[in-house]
Chain A
Amino acid sequence: MKKTLFAALMLLLLTTFTKAQTYSDFTLPDVDGNDVTLSQVMDKGPALISFWATWCSPCKEEMKKINDIYNKYKDKGFQYIAINQDNQKSVSKVKAFITAQNYNFIVLLDTDKKIFEAYNGKDEIPYTLLINKNKEVVASHTGFKTGDEVTLEQEVLNMLK
């Protein structure tokens, strides 16, 4: 039990050092087979990147809510990039899902999870990052609960200022 307490204490102390994740440029294919490079997308404005999968219910709820935010602020340059984490068993359904929902934001495929790893992702999705015009990761969120879209919208507004 001693080591349990020690480790828990260490982790709680470490959370005080928490800082943003780091920006890393990448190129991934979209659902139509086009290569998309993050830095080129970000020339248009700040971006919200979210790692998601078709089997993940909170991811789909988050996607619906972020789509509303995207439609509200896309004219101001805001970019939404959904990076899919489906593996070999469900990746075939990704385009069908996106098209059926009439989503128009950028959806990229990261089948080998290399970009997820580069952005310090670990197991739990949705994993969402906000990157400002200076290419700094200003916020990151793991998981999604109803109501979290209020915080996300505020963070998007802060980036657009």
Chain B
Amino acid sequence: MKNFFTFFIILLLFSSLTYSQNKLDVKASLNNLFRYGNGSENNTSTEYAKEYFENITDARLKVNDFVLGLRYEISDPIEYGLDFKGIKKRYAEYNNVKEGISVRAGDFYDIVGRGLSLNVFEDRGLFYDTGIDGVKVAYTKSFGEKNPVKLKAQIFGGDINYNDFITPARSETYKVRDGNLELTPIKYLTIGANYIYAKGNVMASNLLTSTDLTAILPEGYLSFNYKNLQLFSSYTHKHISTVPNPISQSADGDGFYSSLSFSKSSLGVTFEYKNYRFDVVGPDQSNNSARPTKMLPFQNPPTVVKEHSSTLISRNPHVVDFNDEVGAQLDIIYAPNDKLNINLNSSVASKHYEYQNVGTYPQVVYARIDRSTSYLPSLKDAFNPFWEVYFETEYYATKKFYTKIAFSRQNAITYNQEIPLASEKVLTTTIPTEFKYSLSPEYTLKLIVEQQWEHNSTFALKQDIMNQFISLTLSKSPELSATINTEFTNGSDDPTGKKTWLGGEVAYKLTPSNTVTASYGAERGGFRCTSGICRYVYPFNGFRIMINSKF
């Protein structure tokens, strides 16, 4: 705690420099997140006490073109992952905007194109962090004045120490080298190429053995943006050689992503297509998330499914299999006037192939059944199909009254190769609604009512159930909001045995950028996803407080 305190004092001194220096342009900023929770969690079989205490301070000091950054973290105990106390991230950066040069040493995140070969990011809520510790040099230059040709070049080298966000004791380490070149020869067209060379070590699921690997990922992409039309396409190939080289595992894979958008006044249409074949393996290996030939943690392409804000729809998200998935999404936005917004979204996805057991009993040997249309998703059960149709209307009836009504129908199948009748089939129909009424310029009342009908073939007692979510918020602009959430199910398969959940939350803004949020009550478990990275969050019952501050 002494170090923590000293760190704060130093930062405050830095802040005071902002006002005292005349020649140097010195600026300091600080961002702090404090989280504390105390209650009980249920991991599907037992209920146990759960407490976490986390404080994350991000400080940034800018002196002319130089920036120094630091993250000091105390997570003891952490909510998810491994406890930590000390300096978690640090970096030094030099930016010369005039010359187009940028150099950064230390911790950084990055994305190339749409993330097929490289997309490293952090999501603390999931304990997911693929950040790089190394050196990055970037150069941007425009040639010519009337129709400039733009060039962007970047190289970096660094280390990734990735802890499996589900099993933190399992680690993967990589030494990554990257070269990226982007050329814009005419205003509407950008062509890019990226090359990654990485050496890694992947720990097995048993936490006892590990495999060394070398990975090479070349990527090419292009972006075309002309008037009403936008096109982006990207292709990457992945080659992995492992030591020792395991038999029957594919060492080559690839991924393709493309999006096409058309927009004009009142209408926007976006079509996306994905074909990810980074590691197409049989049903006996696909559940092993620690296999060294899988998509690497520094890759993260688009999910091509809708991300929902509805509580009930987002509780059963489609978990994208980046190693073996083909699919598409269509999104249409129509705003005929400034009062009405309509959104139609539909997506479909599946594995590329089905498999059959060609082994002689009791031996199990899966053989792939090839098909010529593997570039299209299939709705056959053996392909783990997923589809969704979503429709939403938002209506600003008056300046005081706003309403949103939506409809979602989702179908997801997780095929059981050995016992097809035991496959998990989940079909949901959800109607989320939201109503907002301004009682006065300061006070607003918001009501959210969501109704869901769910069929789940793996539920033991009752396969057709109903879920309800109701939330009522009273807010006083700009400083206060108080919410009561309640959820109800008539199903009998919740691990806690509960059928009703009740909780409340109060958020108070001390200043426009400093907020205290406290909540108490029961929270239902379920999946939480970011960019296709999903964690099952256990049910929690207790108290949470969060203080978010910017200085």
- Measured CA separation A113–B265 after assembly (Å): 28
B115 to nearest A CB, angstroms?
A: 4
Residue of B nearest to A140 (CB): B513
A interface footprint on B109-126 (CB within 8 Å = 1, 0 otherwise): 111011100010100100
- Taking CB atoms, residues of chain A closer than 8 Å to B124 are 123
- Measured CA separation A145–B436 after assembly (Å): 11
A119 to nearest B CB, angstroms?
A: 8
Q: Which of A14-22, A43-51, A73-81 is the contact stretch?
A: A14-22
> Is B333 within 8 A of A18, CB to CB?
no
- Measured CA separation A101–B494 after assembly (Å): 42
- Taking CB atoms, residues of chain B closer than 8 Å to A157 are none
Residues of B within 8 A of A (CB): 1, 5, 8, 12, 15, 18, 27, 29-34, 36, 53, 55, 58, 60, 62, 67, 97, 109-111, 113-115, 119, 121, 124, 184, 187-188, 190, 225, 228, 230, 232, 259, 261-270, 272, 300-304, 307, 309, 331, 333-335, 338, 341, 396, 402, 436, 438, 441-444, 446, 475-478, 481, 509-515, 531-532, 545, 547-551
- Taking CB atoms, residues of chain B closer than 8 Å to A14 are 8, 12, 32, 549, 551
- Measured CA separation A25–B60 after assembly (Å): 16
- List 17 extra interface pairs beyond A123-B33, A142-B550, CB under 8 A: A6-B1, A8-B547, A11-B32, A19-B551, A25-B97, A33-B184, A64-B338, A92-B261, A92-B272, A99-B265, A100-B263, A100-B268, A101-B333, A120-B30, A141-B478, A146-B402, A147-B443
- Taking CB atoms, residues of chain A closer than 8 Å to B477 are 145-148, 150-151
29 A-B contacts, Cβ less than 8 Å apart?
A10-B5, A10-B8, A14-B551, A17-B15, A22-B62, A33-B190, A64-B338, A87-B531, A88-B302, A93-B270, A95-B225, A95-B230, A96-B261, A99-B264, A99-B268, A100-B266, A101-B335, A112-B110, A113-B109, A117-B60, A120-B31, A122-B548, A122-B550, A142-B550, A143-B515, A145-B444, A146-B475, A150-B441, A150-B442
> Is B270 within 8 A of A96, CB to CB?
yes
A134 within 8 A of B: no
A7 within 8 A of B: yes
Total number of A-B contacts with CB less than 8 angstroms?
Answer: 198
- Measured CA separation A102–B339 after assembly (Å): 12
> Is A11 within 8 A of B15, CB to CB?
no
> Is A120 within 8 A of B550, CB to CB?
yes
> Is B261 within 8 A of A142, CB to CB?
no
A158 to nearest B CB, angstroms?
A: 14
Chain A: residues with Cβ within 8 Å of the partner, total of 60
A105 within 8 A of B: no
> Is A112 within 8 A of B109, CB to CB?
yes
Residue of B nearest to A93 (CB): B270
- Taking CB atoms, residues of chain A closer than 8 Å to B302 are 88-90, 92
Residue of B nearest to A34 (CB): B187
User: For chain A residues 1-37, which have a beta carbon within 8 Å of chain B?
Assistant: 3-4, 6-8, 10-12, 14-15, 17-19, 21-22, 24-27, 32-34
A57 within 8 A of B: yes
- Measured CA separation A10–B12 after assembly (Å): 12
- Measured CA separation A21–B97 after assembly (Å): 20
> Is A55 within 8 A of B551, CB to CB?
no
- Taking CB atoms, residues of chain A closer than 8 Å to B478 are 141, 145, 147-148, 151
> Is B548 within 8 A of A120, CB to CB?
no
- Taking CB atoms, residues of chain B closer than 8 Å to A102 are 265-266, 335, 338
User: For chain A residues 50-101, which have a beta carbon within 8 Å of chain B?
Assistant: 55, 57, 64, 87-93, 95-101
Q: Of B67, B265, B268, B512, which contacts A93 at CB under 8 A? A: B268
A139 within 8 A of B: yes
> Is A89 within 8 A of B531, CB to CB?
yes
- Taking CB atoms, residues of chain B closer than 8 Å to A19 are 15, 18, 551
> Is B436 within 8 A of A146, CB to CB?
yes
> Is B438 within 8 A of A15, CB to CB?
no
- Taking CB atoms, residues of chain B closer than 8 Å to A140 are 512-513, 550
Residue of B nearest to A39 (CB): B97
Q: Would you list the 5 A-B pairs with minimal beta carbon distance, nearest first?
A: A96-B268, A147-B477, A99-B263, A92-B259, A100-B268
Q: Given the interface contacts A55-B309, A88-B111, A146-B438, does A141 sit within 8 Å of B259 by beta carbon?
A: no
> Is A95 within 8 A of B261, CB to CB?
yes
> Is B259 within 8 A of A95, CB to CB?
no
Q: Of B12, B119, B442, B513, which contacts A88 at CB under 8 A? A: B119
> Is A139 within 8 A of B512, CB to CB?
yes
